[in-house]
Amino acid sequence: MPTSDTEPGSYFVSNYPPFDSWTQAGVADAQAAFDQGSPQNPPLGLYLHIPFCRKRCKFCYFRVYTDMPASDVERYSKALVAEAMLVAAKPAIAGRRLSYVYFGGGTPSFLSVRQLERLVEGLHESFGWEHAKEVTFECEPGTLSEPKLRALKALGVTRLSLGVENFDDAILSENGRAHLSAEIMKSWEWIQSIGFSNTNVDLIAGMVGETTESWHRTVERTLSLQADSVTIYQMELPLNTVYAKDLLQGTAQSSVADWQTKRSWVDWAFSRFIEAGYSISSAYTLVRDPTKVAFQYRDMLWQGSDLAALGVASFGHMSGVHYQNASHWDEYLAAVEGGVFPITRGLKPSQKQLLIRELVLGLKKGSVNIDRLEKKFGINPMQQWASQWMALQTEGYIESLGRCPTLSRRGLLEVDRLLPRFFETASTSFESLTPNELSVGE
């Protein structure tokens, strides 16, 4: 019997085919993609993984390191620069301009001003991003200072994403966040005074200790910030998180809200932001001014752009081939410092698999352009998955079909559990899948 409890396992779909189908056998295909060039010449993005954090959140499933000495931070920064040189020299990259850049983590803002300046200076020897449409930088409030924010703007950052998650100090502490609410407000004052062209605030619905009242307070305080966009995730528990391990070992002291509750909280938040003039941009995002805010990283990546990924455990895509860098510190550094490409697994999807990827990721935005997909892949998605579309509409997840199927609000709130219906091994519900059958976020 399916349950609405938040059980250990992945939920958020960020790629297709799922990551557990990428293997060492696919490394040759990934390397060939870099060596042969990209015949279609799609937009090119650059992702940099900064794996350092002040603390590890109890819900975090990314490759991060805490309590690292300054010498290791310096060594890693130099490795990123070295890897950038390796990548930029490849035929698939050489001579191309970047369309977007994304500093993710971990905590990119963990780096000092001088470390950031040296890193960016080194990267510019291989990749210049003066023509990029968007340069995004993720921040943790407690790592920010006014000089650091001014340096980020001077370095070309156009979109600043602040990991707020919640405004309740007790909830932040319980979930392992390094910052408290006072640091959020202080950093936001600096961000506003300096003036970035695009600001985003991240929230998580359903953190341990959350109540309806505390969630309402967090949403109202976020509204007062008037960020250009707000991203709201529903709490999940991938298997490598502290909370998931506690649940599996029977040592959990408290639980995450169930899916029905989390969806109701996000639904309420969406309504409040819409009342305040925001518009829904995806199943997770709202924007204050759609004419000003565009998610270049998301939109280009989800429509098949190339992505050169730098750093330990980073995921990238080149000429339709998926790949991942070495996922452990010593392995990654040994490869890059030895002048070797650090790719350790990959996958060359079929054309149908690439279509499924763009279809399901597009649905996360709320609607998909069937004509664009049919023209690109030569397959009509409405005919290929006719029964799935009809079932989604009958169940209330689709409010209109036609050439641009559009999800209902209910469909948006539950989108990640619906997407596997389009997978080659289809399932009608998330709850019936084992944890390894769904992918985690990049």
Please state which CATH class domain 19-300 belongs to. Answer: alpha beta
Confidence of residue 6 (pLDDT cuts 50, 70, 90): confident
Between these two residues, 1 and 71, which has the higher pLDDT value? 71
* Residues carrying CATH 1.10.10.920, the chain: 352-442
Mean local confidence (pLDDT), 232-251: 87
What's the pLDDT tens digit per position in 302-331?
999 999 999 999 999 999 999 999 999 999
CB 370 within 8 A of CB 382: yes
What's the pLDDT tens digit per position in 185-216?
999 999 999 999 999 999 999 999 999 999 99
What's the pLDDT tens digit per position in 385-408?
999 999 999 999 999 898 999 999
Least confident range of 37-41, 285-289, 412-416: 37-41
Q: What pLDDT does 2 receive?
A: 39
Please state which CATH class domain 352-442 belongs to. Answer: mainly alpha
CB 440 within 8 A of CB 238: yes
The DSSP output letter for 52 is E
Q: What percent of the chain has pLDDT over 70?
A: 95
Q: What pLDDT does 1 receive?
A: 29
Per-residue CA distances from 37 to 32, 66, 92, 347 (Å): 9, 38, 3, 17
Q: Which of 50, 82, 73, 76 minimizes the C-alpha distance to 63?
A: 50
Confidence of residue 436 (pLDDT cuts 50, 70, 90): very low
Residues in the chain: 442
Least confident range of 144-158, 230-244, 362-376: 230-244
CB 289 within 8 A of CB 273: no
Q: What is the pTM of this model?
A: 0.93
Mean local confidence (pLDDT), 270-281: 98
Q: What percent of the chain has pLDDT over 90?
A: 83
Instruction: Return mean pLDDT, the chain.
Output: 92
